[in-house]
Amino acid sequence: MRARLHPLTALTAAGSVAVITVAADSWLLSLAVACAAGVLSVRAGVAGRVLPAAAVILAPLCLSLLMLHGLFFPEGHTVLAQWGPARVTTEGLGFALDLASRTAACVMVFLLFSFTVNVPDLVSALEARRVPAQFGFVLASTLTLLPAIAARLDRIRQAQESRGLVLRGGLLSRLGAVRLQMVPLVLALVDDAGNRAQALDARGFGIGGPRTSYRDVADPPAQRRFRAVALLLAAVAVALRLAASWPAAGLS
C-alpha cells in the first residue's frame, strides 16, 4: 500500500477525511474513522508506533476534556451526579465525547499518514510542485531530527559513562544525568549545524534557480482524479457545515 500510494494522495486523503469528520460533527462517524485508521495502521505494520503515539497525545487530552466539560458544563441540564460546584451532566459528557472523538479521528489519521509516508517521496513530490527546496529540507530534517538527537545523546552518555559517570535507575540520578548531557548536546547540535551548512553550500543547495529531482514518484491519473474528488468532497462538507450553522450563529 505504501509503495503504490503517491505521498500527495495519502496527504490529501488524510486531510480530506479529517476535514469531513470535523464538519460532519458526529461522534459515531469520528469513532468509526479513528477505528478505521487503527485497522489500517495494523495492516500497514505501523500500529506499534501509531497507537502508543496516539495514546500519548490523546490520553491527557481526553482526561482534560472530561474534567472541563464532563464536570463543568454550564449549559448542562440533565444532572447525573453532583459534588459541590462540579456537576456531571449528560450534555457535558456528550460534548466531551464529541470533541474527544473528533480529535481522536484527526490525530489517528495524521499519525497514520506520517508513519506510513515515504519521506523522500514526499519531499520529492513537494519539490516537483515548486515548493521551495528549503521547505522540503526542513520537513525531512524535522522528521529525522529526533533519531539524530537520540543517537547524539547516546554517544554523549557513553562517553560520560566511560569516564566514570554512574547511571542508576532512579529518577533523580536520571535527571542529574540529563542536566550533564544537555549542554554538550546543544553545543554538538550547533556545531553539526555549522558544518552541515558549509557542506550544503558547497553542494549548491543555496544557489537558487530551477531545481530538478532525481527521484521519480509515479503519480497515476487515477490518483490525481481521486485527489480532486477528495478535495471537492472536503470543500462540500465545509460548505454544508457553514450553511447549516451560519443562520443559527447569526440569530444567537
Partner 1 sequence: MSATTRPALLARIGGFTFHGDARPVLRDVGLSAAPGTLTAVLGGSGSGKTTLGKLLAGWLRPGHAGSLMGSLELGPERLVFHGLADDPRINPGAWSRRVGFVPQDAAATLSTVRSTVAEELAFGLENRGMPRADMHAAVAGTATLTGLTALLERDPATLSGGELRRLAVGCAAITGPEVLVLDEPLASLDAAGAVQVRDLIRGLLDAGAAVIVLSQAADGLARTAGHWIILDGGTVTASGPPAQLMGAPELARSGVVVPDMPSAAPSRRDTSTGRTGAAPVLELRTVGFGYPAGRGSPPEAREEQVLRNLDLAVDPGEIVAVTGPNGAGKSTLLRHFNGLLRPAAGEVRVQGSSIASVPVGRVAASVGLLFQHPRDQLFERTVLREVSFGLRGRLGVEASVSRAYGALAAVGLSDAAGTHPAELPASQQRLLALATVVAREPALLALDEPTVGLDRHGLDLLHSAVEAATARGAAVVLVTHDVAYARAMAHRILELDGGRLRQV
Return the residue of 205, 217, 233, 235 that touches partner 1, per CB under 8 A: 205
Residues ≥6 apart with Cβ < 8 Å to 238: 19, 23
Please work out, in degrees rounded to the nearest 5, the angle formed at the alpha carbon of residue 205 by the alpha carbons of 199 and 206: 105
Find out whether 116 and 44 touch, Cβ atoms under 8 Å.
yes
Local structure of 221: helix, strand or coil: helix
Please work out, in degrees rounded to the nearest 5, the angle formed at the alpha carbon of residue 31 by the alpha carbons of 30 and 37: 90
Closest CA to 2 of 33, 31, 43: 43
Residue 77 or 215 having the CB closest to partner 1: 215
Please tell me whether residue 204 binds partner 1 under the rule CB under 8 A.
yes
Return the residue of 52, 82, 135, 161 that touches partner 1, per CB under 8 A: 161
Closest CA to 121 of 7, 5, 12: 7
Residue 45 or 220 having the CB closest to partner 1: 45
Closest CA to 135 of 220, 50, 211, 188: 211
Residue 188 or 233 having the CB closest to partner 1: 188
What is the nearest approach in angstroms of partner 1 to the Cβ of residue 65? 36
Return the residue of 2, 57, 66, 211 that touches partner 1, per CB under 8 A: 211
The 8-class DSSP code of residue 167 comes to: P
What is the nearest approach in angstroms of partner 1 to the Cβ of residue 115? 13
Return the residue of 8, 23, 34, 123 that touches partner 1, per CB under 8 A: 123
Alpha carbons 96 and 107: distance in angstroms, whole number: 16
Please tell me whether residue 25 binds partner 1 under the rule CB under 8 A.
no
Please tell me whether residue 170 binds partner 1 under the rule CB under 8 A.
no
Residues near partner 1 (CB under 8 A), total:
49
Return the residue of 74, 84, 164, 170 that touches partner 1, per CB under 8 A: 164
Q: Which triple of cell numbers denotes residue 57?
A: 497525545
Residue 211 or 241 having the CB closest to partner 1: 211
What is the contact surface with partner 1 in residues (CB under 8 A)? Answer: 119-120, 123, 133, 136-137, 140-141, 144, 148, 155-156, 158-168, 181, 183-184, 187-188, 191, 195-196, 198-207, 209-216
